[in-house]
Structures are given as C-alpha cells and as structure tokens.
Chains A and B, each alone.
Chain A
Amino acid sequence: MNRFTELLPWIVAAWLLAVGLYGMITSRHYVQLIGCLSVVQASTYVLLLAVGYRRHAGPPIFYTHPPGTPAVDPVVQALVLTDIVIGATVTALLLALALQMHKRRGMLDPQELRPLSR
C-alpha cells in the first residue's frame, strides 16, 4: 500500500467539498446550487465511511459469522444512513423554496436575488 492510496480518501473528500463549494459560489441557477450542496454533503459521507473502514474486515452484521470477527465501524454507518435520508428531505425542502421563488419572482438566479421590497 503506497502513500498515495493511503491519502486518497481524504483527497477525495476534500475535493468533493471544494468542487461543491465552487459550484455553489458560481451558481447561476438554484436547482444547480442545490445539486452542488448535495455534492458537499457527499464529501462528509466519503470522510465518515473512510474513517470507519477497517482492512480485511466484514460488515458489522453478525448473522452468519460470530461476534468478534473483525468488522468495520457501525457508528459512522449509522450516521451516514440517517444523514442520507434526512438529506433527501432537506433537498426537497430547498427545491420547494426554489419552486416558490420561481412562482413569485419568475427567476431562479441566486445572484439576481434581492430583498423583497414592499
């Protein structure tokens, strides 16, 4: 195992965070911005699962093999599992916001957005 593959998970996580943020900053469309937010979120999944990984270990489910056999970390898996489900509904909430804005303002460009004037 050379040094590069050791570092690869952290590089991938940092890269996903950076490209996601870049996309959010330069975004000209809310749907694209929400997609970029999901990319940022994916970087946390990569980071968590990489931290919980253990070489030559099975899943943390002791149905066919007895407890005590090497297994990866169940805590980060539980975190990622709930995060994916909650993330999906939060994405839907943001999309609902974008939909409302399109109805009210007729546009979806975050850079054109100004405070509501009465």
Chain B
Amino acid sequence: MTPRLRLIIFLLACIGLMPAFAHVAMRMPSFGAHPLPYGETINAVATKERHVTNMVSAVNFDYRGFDTLGEEFMLLCAVTGITVLLRGTRGEQTSARPGVLEGRPIRPRSEAVMLICRIFGTLTLMFGIYVALHAMTTPGGGFQGGVIIASATLMIFMGETYRGWRRLMHSEILDAIEGGGATLYALCGFASMVAGKPFLYNILPLGTPRDLFSGGLMLIENAGVACAVAGGFAVTFLEFLEETRAEKEDPE
C-alpha cells in the first residue's frame, strides 16, 4: 500500500465517520450534567463503607481492585519487555562508564549542579513517599507516588554522573522491588480468600476516616502499587541509561 493510497483511505474514513460523530455529539447529555450512576454511588457510600476520603483510591484499590491487579501486571509485562529487548542484545554485564562519542571529553559535573541535585533529589524522594502514603485521605496514591519516587532516582544520575548512579542502582534490587510490589498486591487478594471471603475483599480493620492509616487492605495494596511502579520506572530508566554505554567495551 503506497503512502498516498493510505492517506486517501484515511481521509475517506474521516469524511465517512463525520456524520456519525456529529450525530453522537449532538445527542450527548448536556456537558457537565451527565448521569453518573456509578460515580455518584461511590461518592455517596464509599466514605461510610470503606472509611477513606479519597474516592479515586477507593475505586482503584477496593471497588475496582481487580482491574488494578490487571493493570499492575500490564506494567510488569511492559517493563519485562523493555528489559528483554534492551538487555537481550547488550548482555548482563555492567560497567561504570557511559558511552561517549569519539573525541568528546567527559566533564565532571559542576558543584552547583551537584548541590542542587542532592537537595532536590532528596526532596523529590520525600515528596514521592508523602504522595504515596496519603493515598487514602488526600489526592495521591501508589501510582503517582511511585512515579515521583522513580524520578528522584534520576536526580542521582544528574548530580552524581553515571558512575555514581550505577553504584546506587542495582537492577537485582529494583527487579525485586517491582516484582515484589505486584506480588504483594496479588497476595492481598489471596489473603482474603484464605479468610473465606471473595478475592480482594477488605478483611483488615478499616480505621477512622481522614486518618493516614485508614482503609484496611487498601493500604497494603497501595504500598504494593507504589513499589511496583517505582521499581518498574527505575528499571526502565536504568535500562535506557545502560543503552548509552559504549558498545564495544571498556579496557578497565
């Protein structure tokens, strides 16, 4: 199929779908006043039933907790795929030197960059943990917190150069954090089954609403998600940064 033909088919499809789109868009309920039976119900009952104040977390970890388990494994599969693709040709061995273009010197980081990265790397890490911990009360949760925690590790690379980053980031540990997080989530489900309840049923004491440690089983699931996301993103960063390493290695 030539690019030209493909474009013509695309444009024809667009023109063909235009009336259907117009038909649907004109008959949508008025914007901002949709009937939202599922969301309304959760907003009305979740605080009473599950003792949490963040409805998004209640949906993610309790009412639709099973879907999140699926998403967890999607994340695991994607990260495994990245690792297999990149490490497959490169091999397991690591080195302390990044790849450099011929004739380009490796300059040491300036002290200002190092200082800023040390300060903000720590602060970013703390903020990530803060966001991940407050899943049940205020906006936050394992997904957002995990990404912020993983970003904090990139600050190490920026401040301490590739060598320092490699000394701190060990792929075995990160793999374990990632897989362990996903496993923890799945084990939560099986724990409910052992207790004679349905999969992922909230079996732990729920605590008081607006308390940091409210929500029972959701707290453990949230910790699992935070670990899996943080580990997964850190592994991704590690694999891509390893890719910058020179292909034919390294006298040392």
Chains A and B bind each other: yes
Q: Which residues of A contact B (CB under 8 A)?
A: 1, 5-11, 14, 18, 21-22, 25-26, 50-55, 59-63, 67-68, 71-78, 81-82, 85-86, 88-90, 92-93, 95-97, 99-100, 103, 111
- In the bound complex, do residue B89 and residue A7 qualify as a contact, i.e. CB atoms below 8 Å apart? no
What are 8 residue pairs bridging A and B, where the CB atoms are less than 8 Å apart in the complex? A10-B21, A10-B24, A61-B138, A67-B44, A74-B59, A90-B74, A100-B86, A111-B3
A99 and B86 contacting across the interface, CB-CB below 8 Å: yes
Within 8 A of A (CB), among B74-94: 74-75, 78-79, 81-82, 85-86, 89
Question: Which of A7, A59, A90, A99 is B243 in contact with, Cβ under 8 Å?
Answer: A99
Asked if B85 contacts A97 (CB within 8 A), the reply is: yes
Instruction: Count how many chain B residues have C-beta atoms less than 8 Å from C-beta atoms of the other chain.
Output: 61
Q: A50 vs B143: C-alpha distance in the bound complex, in angstroms? A: 22
Q: State whether the Cβ of B221 lies closer than 8 Å to any Cβ in chain A.
A: no
| Cβ contact within 8 Å between A60 and B82 | no
The contact of B43 among A60, A89, A95, by CB within 8 Å, is A60
Known: A67-B47, A81-B56. 5 other contacts (CB 8 A): A52-B39, A54-B33, A74-B55, A75-B59, A81-B144
CA distance A77 to B21 in the complex (A): 24
Docked complex Cα distance between A26 and B28 (Å):
32
Interface centre among B6, B58, B236, B239 (most CB of A within 10 A): B236
| Distance to closest chain B CB from A88 (angstroms) | 8
Query: In the assembly, what is the distance between CA of A50 and CA of B31, in Å?
Result: 8
Q: How far is the CB of B15 from chain A (nearest CB, A)?
A: 11
Q: Decide yes or no: A85 and B147 within 8 Å by CB, A54-B32, A73-B36, A75-B59 being known contacts.
A: yes
Say yes or no: B39 contacts A76, CB within 8 Å.
Answer: yes
- Contact B39 A60, beta carbon cutoff 8 Å: yes
Determine whether the beta carbon of B33 is less than 8 Å from that of A93: no
B25 within 8 A of A: yes
Verify B78–A82 contact, CB threshold 8 A: no
A59 to B, closest residue via Cβ: B139
Q: How far is the CB of B55 from chain A (nearest CB, A)?
A: 4
Residues B85 and A86 in contact, CB atoms below 8 Å apart: no
Q: Contacts A71-B55, A81-B56; is A55 near B33 (CB within 8 Å)?
A: yes
Q: Contact: B60 with A89, CB < 8 Å?
A: no
